[in-house]
Amino acid sequence: MAKELKSKEGYARYAAFYDKSAKYWDSFEKHNLDKLIEGAKGKKVLDAGAGTGRLAIRLHNAGAKVTALDLSPEMLSNIRRKKPAIEVVEGDMEAMPFEDSSFDMVFSSLAMVHLKKVDTFFEEVHRVLKDGGQAVLVNVHYRKPLILSDKQGKFIINCYNHFPRHVREAAEDLAFRIDKEIMVTEGDTIWISQILVMTK
Ligand SMILES: C[S@@+](CC[C@H](N)C(=O)[O-])C[C@H]1O[C@@H](n2cnc3c(N)ncnc32)[C@H](O)[C@@H]1O
């Protein structure tokens, strides 16, 4: 049986082979972020729950000044190795170690699925964004738990599926303006992820 682990413990193990599934992770966005990443050029951008830098590195290469925040030092050490120019910060996206109004944009992909509720995270995104700043958030829905395996055995990292309506309502409650909501689907109907683009 796979052992169920909290994020910090789980990603400490997953960090060693997370990047092997890069194509799988990209499939939850299906190129919907390409233009938004290009648009981050010259901006001060936070990647919250940045992991091994899948988006942070693309943002950096597009000319953004990127800060990568993550709970897992093991995941972040991949960014340090691959792109030392990116600022990495170990910390919790529900209690971000940043001043108010620090960023022009906040990206966060595939990370809120690890939070029991999204409200506190959204409050933090709102707080650290400048007025008029934009947030780009990817809310993924895993239909079945991802069973991972390493030398220590099988494990699952704790996930919570958040319904798109609830995520949108949490954003609107904070008076974010929703600029765009993209549902990434498999076939015609099955929802796999929600991309919210919103402005403070
Ligand atoms: C599936 S990975 C996504 C990584 C990256 N954003 C990507 O799209 O490839 C989820 C990341 O969220 C991080 N994470 C989970 N809970 C977090 C929290 N409360 N604060 C900061 N990072 C968190 C994990 O450590 C992990 O690196």
| C-alpha–C-alpha distance, residues 25 and 138, integer Å | 11
Tens place of pLDDT per residue across the chain (200 aa):
899 999 999 999 999 999 999 999 999 999 999 999 999 999 999 999 999 999 999 999 999 999 999 999 999 999 999 999 999 999 999 999 999 999 999 999 999 999 999 999 999 999 999 999 999 999 998 878 899 999 999 999 999 999 999 999 999 999 999 999 999 988 777 778 999 999 99
11 lines ligand 1 (CB under 6 A): yes
Q: What is the pTM of this model?
A: 0.97
Distance of CA 160 to the CA centre of its chain: 14
Domains of the chain: 3-199 (3.40.50.150)
Q: Which of 11, 13, 9, 2 is nearest to 145 (CA)?
A: 2
Q: Could you tell which of 25, 77, 114, 193 is best to mutate to test the pocket of ligand 1, judged by most ligand atoms within 8 Å of the CB? A: 114
Listed in order, strand segments (DSSP E) in 44-176 are 44-48, 65-70, 87-90, 103-109, 129-140, 148-150, 153-157
Measured in degrees and rounded to the nearest 5, phi and psi for residue 169 equal: -65, -40
